[in-house]
Chain A
C-alpha cells in the first residue's frame, strides 16, 4: 500500500493544500459554538441586542470564508485524486507491459483487468475522500476536544474517554473488514472472468445450447459475490449505530458531569451548551467519518491488490551470469545456435525440452515438426526470449540471448503465434505493429508474400478497413495471413511461424512458402516453420523432429525419410494414402 503513495508525488501541492483548506474551513466551523456561547452568556445575559447582531454577522462572515476555502479544497482534492489515479493507471499499465511471459501465465488477464479498472476507481474515490475529509474529521474531533478543555478541564475528560472509545470502534471495524473487502474484490474477479470467457466462447456456448448452463454458472458466482458483500456489509453496518451510541451516552455523561459543576458554580449554563454543541459536532463528523472509513477500507483493499502487482520483480538472474561468457566471433556464421538447451515451465513437473542442440545458418529455412505437446512452440518461444532456457545456452549471432535487451531481441525476431490476434483498428494500423514507419511498398510486399493482398483488395476501404477486436470480422485463414503479413512488415532477421498456416489451404500455403523462400534467399532471412504437416516443411534446409521434448531427428527431408523413424511415420500418415489414391 505504501508504495502507492509515490504516485501522488506530482500532486504534492494539491495533496497538501487540499486538506489545509479543509482544515481552514473546519477551524471556522469550530469557532461557531464559541460565538453561540458568547451570544447566550454575554448577549442574552446582558440583554445586549447590538452584541447579538454583531456576533451573528461574525457567523455569516465565517460561513463565507468557509465556503471559499472549502471549494478550493474540493478542487485540489479532485485534482490530486484524478491525477493520482491517472499516474497509477499509467504506472500499472506500463508495469504489465514489462511482464515476462512466465509472470503473465501465472497472473491471468482477468485479474489484471479488474485491477486496472475497478480497483483503481476505488482508490481514486478513496484518495479523493481522504483528502477532503480524513483530516477534517479527526481535526474537528480533536479540535472540539481541545476547545472543550479550554472551557472546562474536568468535563473535557469525558471527551477524551469518548474519543478513545470511538477510535477503538472505528479502527477495530476497519481491521476486521479490510481482508473481507479483499475477498469481495476477488469474487468480482471471478465474475469478470466468467463474463470474458462467455464473450470469447459465445459460439461454442450457443452451439452446445449451453446458455442456461452459463447463466446458472454466472448466477452462482454472482450469488457468491452478493453473499461476500452482505457479509462484510453486516460488519460495517455496525459502524454508524455504535458511534451513535457512544456519542450520545457521552453527551448524557457530559451533561451529568456538567450539571454537578454548574451546581458547584464552576461552570455556566452557556458553557454547558457549548460543550454539548462540540459533542454534537463530533457526532456529525463521525457519521461522515464512518461512511468515509468504509470507502477507505475498500480503497485500502484495492490498493493492496494493485500494490501486489506493482511489487512483482522480474527475475534477471540469467543476465549477470551470461555477461562473463566471451563470445567467439567465429561462431557468427551461425544465426541461431542451441547448446544442450533444457526448458521447464515454471511450476511444471517435467521439462518441456530436453538436451536440444542445433545450429542454423543465416538464410536457412528450418522446419520443426512433431506431435502435439512435443515442445515445438516452446522451442521457438525460447528463440524470441519469451522464456529463458532452464539449462544450456541459446546463441543468436554468436551472442547469448540473455545478453540482448528485450527490445533488440524482439526486433530481431518476427513471430506469428498460434493464436492469431488482430486488434481493433484499420488493417494498415495492424500491419504497422512491428514497424511504425514502414513504407507503403514494404506493406504491399509483405501482403504479397503473405498471400494477403486479395483480402485487402477485396474490402471496399482497402487498407483502411476497420477490424473489430480480435479480427472477428475476418475468417480464420484471413486472420492468419494478415498476421503473417504483420510479422513480415517488421522485416525481421529471424522469422518464426508457429503453426501459423493451419487454416490455409494447400495452394495458398505453397505460394506463401515460395514467397518466404525468396526472402530467405534475397534478404538472408532465417525462417523457422513449426507445423504438423510434412508438406509445410518438406523443402526446408533443415528439419528438426521433436517427440515429447526430445530431438529425435535432424536433417533434410531426404535424410530424415531414410533415417528417422518418427519422421517416416508422420510423412506416411499424410502422404501414403494420398499417393495411393492418385495412382
Chain B
C-alpha cells in the first residue's frame, strides 16, 4: 500500500471527528497568531525604552496589560486545542483498532491458520500505537506550524517587505532538505516495522509457550534466534532513526542562515533609518518563530512517515479479503430437523495436495454419525467444512435441503453444538463461559446444565464458585475440568445438531461414563457427528464412517462393518489385541 492510499484512509477516519478538527484548527490559528502578535507588542515596549531618562512608562503600562491578556487567551486556546487533538487522535486510533478487530472476526481461517499470531498482534497493537503517536504529533504541530509560518510572513511583510524577501528566499531550502530526507527514510521505517513484526511473532510464539521451551532446555537456542533478529532490528532501527534525525539539525542550520540574513538586512535597514531597533528585535524574534515551525514540521514529517508506514501495514491487513460474502437467508435453529447431505465434496488446504475427494454422505435427522479412522485421515477437516470454517472447493453441503453457502454462517453455526479436541475457554468467569451459547439463560438453567455435565460439583468447590476466572495458562483448572465446562456449555445451548471431536479424550473414564449418559439423552432426536476413539460410543452410532487419506472407505453400522472384515475390522481388533 503506498503512502497516498494510506493517507486517504487515515483521512476517512479523521473525518468523523471533523468538528474537533475544525475547533483544533481555529484554536491553533488563534494561538499561533496571538503568539506572533505578542512579539510586536514587546517590540513596541522596547521602542519605548530608548535610554537613560528616555523611558515612557505610561505607554509601557498600557501595552503590558494588553500583552498579559493575550498571553492568557493564547494559553487557554493552546490547552483546549491539545484536548481536541487528544480526542481526535485517540478516537481515530480506537476506531481503527476496532475495525481491524472486527475485520479479524471475518477473515477466513484459511488466511489466519498459517499466519503467526504475533504478526497479527503486532499489527493490531504496536503499529496502531505508532500511528497514534504520529497523528498526535501531527495534529499538535503541523497546523500550528503552518499558521505560524503564514502569519509570520504576513506580519513581516506589513513591517518591512524587503527583509521579508530575504526570509522567503532562504526558507525553501529548509523544506527541500526536510522533504529529501523524509522521502529517503520512508522505506527504512518500513523495513524497521517489518523486522519488528518478525520479532514480535517470535516473542509471541516462544514466550507464549515458555513451558515447552523450558521442557526442552531450548532457552539458549531460542535466545540465539532472538538475538539474530534483534541484531537485524537494531541495525535497521539505527539507520531509520539516524537518517531521519538529520532533518532537524539541517533545518536548524538553515534557520540559522535565515536569522543571520534577517540580522544583516535588518541592521542595514536600521542604519538607513528604515527600521527601529525595537522592530529589528521583533523581526529577529519572528525569524526564529518563522523557522521553528519548519523545524517542527520536518520533525513531524519524519514521525508521520514512520506512523504511515505502520498504518500502511494495518490497512493492508484490513484489506485482506474477507470470507465469501454471506447470503442473507437464515436457518432457524429451532426449526432445523437436522438432515445433512454432503454432495460430491472435494477440498484441500493446499492445492498441491488434495485431501477430500468427491465425498458424499446423507444423514437423516436424528442419526448418529461416528467418524473413525487413523489420525490425520481428514476427520477434523470434515468438521471444518460442516461448520463452514473453510468453504468447499467443489460440491455442496446441504442442511434440510438448503445449501449452507446460501445461509449466514452465524445461523449455520448456531445449529451445531461443538466440543473440540482442545478446550477453548476464554479469560472470563466460568459463568460467562457457560452462558456463551445462551446468554439469556437463567441461573437455574445454567446450574442444571453444569450438573448434567458433572461440573457443578467442582465449580462449587472453587473459591469463587461460578465467578472463578478461567486464567490464561494457569494451573487452576485441569484439562479435564476445562473439558467438562465446554460440555456444560453445550448442555446449556441445546442445539439441533452436535459435533463432538474427541470431546472426552482428557476426562477420566468414571466421569466420562456419566457424561456419556448425559450425552445420550441429549443426542436423542439430534443429528450428531462424533469423532471418537472409544468403541462403545462408535458401536451405538447409526452410521459409522471409516475414513482414510481423505476418503470414506467404509460406511455402515457396527455389525455390517465387522462383517466386511475390512479396515474397520482391523481397527476394532487392534484395540483388544
Contact = CB atoms under 8 A, between A and B. Distances in A.
Interface string B444-479: 000000000000001000010000000111110111
B358 interface: no
A410 B214 CA distance: 8
Nearest to A413: B215
B165 interface: no
Given A59-B259, A211-B106, A237-B82, A276 B577 contact: no
A93 B223 contact: yes
5 contacts: A90-B230, A117-B125, A117-B203, A211-B410, A230-B90
Contacts of B74: 241, 244, 248
A263 interface: yes
B41 to A, nearest CB: 9
Contacts of B257: 60, 63
Given A60-B260, A62-B256, A202-B112, A371 B539 contact: no
B253 interface: yes
Contacts of A284: 288, 292
A469 B213 contact: no
B304 interface: no
Q: How large is the interface on B (under 10, 10 to 19, 20 to 34, 35 or more residues)?
A: 35 or more
Interface in A262-286: 262-265, 268-270, 272-273, 276-277, 280, 284
B511 A96 contact: no
B209 interface: yes
Given A195-B121, A270-B277, A418-B479, A64 B253 contact: yes
A490 B216 contact: yes
A121 B126 contact: yes
Contacts of B424: 200-201, 203-204
Interface in A229-258: 229-230, 233-234, 237-238, 240-242, 244-245, 248-249, 251-252, 255-256, 258
Interface stretch (A75-83, A140-148, A332-340, A554-562): A75-83
B376 A477 contact: yes
Interface stretch (B5-13, B49-57, B337-345, B519-527): B49-57
Interface string A465-505: 00011101111111011000010001000000001001111
B374 interface: yes
A536 B449 CA distance: 31
Contacts of A49: 268, 271
A455 to B, nearest CB: 6
B277 A215 contact: no
A70 interface: yes
A167 interface: no
Nearest to B353: A460
A348 B204 CA distance: 28
Interface of B (DSSP majority class)? helix
B565 interface: no
Given A205-B105, A263-B53, A490-B216, A386 B211 contact: yes
A36 interface: yes
Contact of B481 (A81, A206, A373, A478): A373
A476 B57 contact: no
A113 interface: yes
Given A199-B112, A251-B42, A371-B508, A116 B203 contact: yes
Given A71-B249, A251-B42, A578-B536, 13 more contacts: A52-B267, A59-B256, A74-B249, A78-B245, A86-B231, A105-B475, A118-B129, A203-B420, A208-B437, A211-B410, A230-B86, A469-B118, A533-B509
Contacts of A210: 436
Interface in A528-583: 532-535, 569-570, 573-574, 577-578, 581-582
- Counting chain B CB atoms within 10 Å of each CB, the highest count among A56, A188, A226, A486 belongs to A226
Contacts of A455: 376
B285 A277 contact: yes
B356 interface: no
B71 A475 contact: no
A470 B267 CA distance: 73
A109 B207 contact: yes
The 9 closest A-B pairs by CB, nearest first: A477-B375, A372-B480, A237-B82, A63-B256, A265-B52, A70-B249, A204-B424, A507-B574, A502-B505
Interface residues of A, number: 184
Contact of A44 (B57, B227, B267, B570): B267
B373 to A, nearest CB: 7
B375 A373 contact: no
B571 A277 contact: no
A36 to B, nearest CB: 6
B472 A241 contact: no
Contacts of B57: 259, 263
A93 B277 contact: no
A345 B86 contact: no
Contacts of A577: 536
A32 B79 CA distance: 32
A218 interface: yes
A511 to B, nearest CB: 8
A97 B223 contact: yes
A78 B241 contact: yes
Interface in B220-256: 221-223, 226-227, 230-231, 233-234, 237-238, 241-242, 245-246, 248-250, 252-253, 256
B305 interface: no
B83 A66 contact: no
A198 B373 CA distance: 31
A71 B222 CA distance: 37
B120 A199 contact: yes
A312 to B, nearest CB: 14
A392 B505 CA distance: 33
Given A124-B237, A280-B288, A502 B506 contact: yes
A532 B473 CA distance: 21
Contact of A78 (B242, B373, B511): B242
B418 interface: yes
B263 A192 contact: no
